[in-house]
Structure formats: structure tokens, C-alpha cells
């Protein structure tokens, strides 16, 4: 299981469920959210930064959300992330 390098320098255990919850809140189906979390975990290496996690989640949302279905998953996730994490 990889570790997550936090913005303040702390490290914590990677918890895939955090990605699943935030991706689902953006509008992704539970299956898509789980797939994204699994991909991030599989490609994380020993340590992954929160910035890399964010980029990979946004990329995964974009790939699974063709414009014709619902173009707002990425935008919704960004709004959620900004509000919850209080960052831009």
C-alpha cells in the first residue's frame, strides 16, 4: 500500500475510499469511482503526492465522462475539492 505525501510534509497511508467518495460526489458512478481509485493506487509507487492524486483523479474522470453524457464531472470534482480542501 503506498503512502501519501501531504502538502504540509506529513505522510499518511493511501486510502482508496477517499478517492471513491470524492469522485462519486462529482457525479461519477460508484463503479467509475472505484476504477479511478484502483488505477491511482496501482500506479502510485511507494509514495504519491496529493497533487499527483488530484491530477490522476481529474484525468480518470475526464476519460470516463465523454462530453455527450455529462461534461461536468471534472468541474464538479474541482469545485468539491476546492470547497472541502479550501484551495484553488
Does position 69 have pLDDT exceeding 60, yes or no? no
Bridge partners for 4 per DSSP:
12, 48
- Beta-bridge partners for 49: 5
pLDDT tens digits for range 31-68: 999 999 999 999 999 999 999 999 999 889 888 876 55
Question: What is the structure's pLDDT at 4?
Answer: 96
User: 87: exposed, middle or buried (C-beta count within 10 Å: 0-12, 13-18, 19+)?
Assistant: exposed
Model confidence, pTM: 0.76
Query: Which of 36, 79, 76 lies closest to 59, judged by CA?
Result: 36
Output Rg (C-alpha) for the chain, integer angstroms: 13
Amino acid at each position: 500500500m503506498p503512502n501519501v505525501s501531504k502538502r504540509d510534509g506529513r505522510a499518511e497511508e493511501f486510502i482508496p475510499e477517499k478517492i471513491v467518495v470524492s469522485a462519486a460526489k462529482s457525479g461519477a458512478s460508484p463503479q467509475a469511482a472505484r476504477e479511478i481509485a484502483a488505477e491511482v493506487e496501482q500506479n502510485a509507487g511507494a509514495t504519491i503526492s496529493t497533487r499527483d492524486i488530484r491530477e490522476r483523479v481529474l484525468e480518470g474522470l475526464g476519460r470516463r465522462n465523454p462530453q455527450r453524457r455529462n461534461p461536468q464531472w471534472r468541474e464538479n470534482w474541482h469545485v468539491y475539492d476546492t470547497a472541502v480542501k479550501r484551495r484553488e
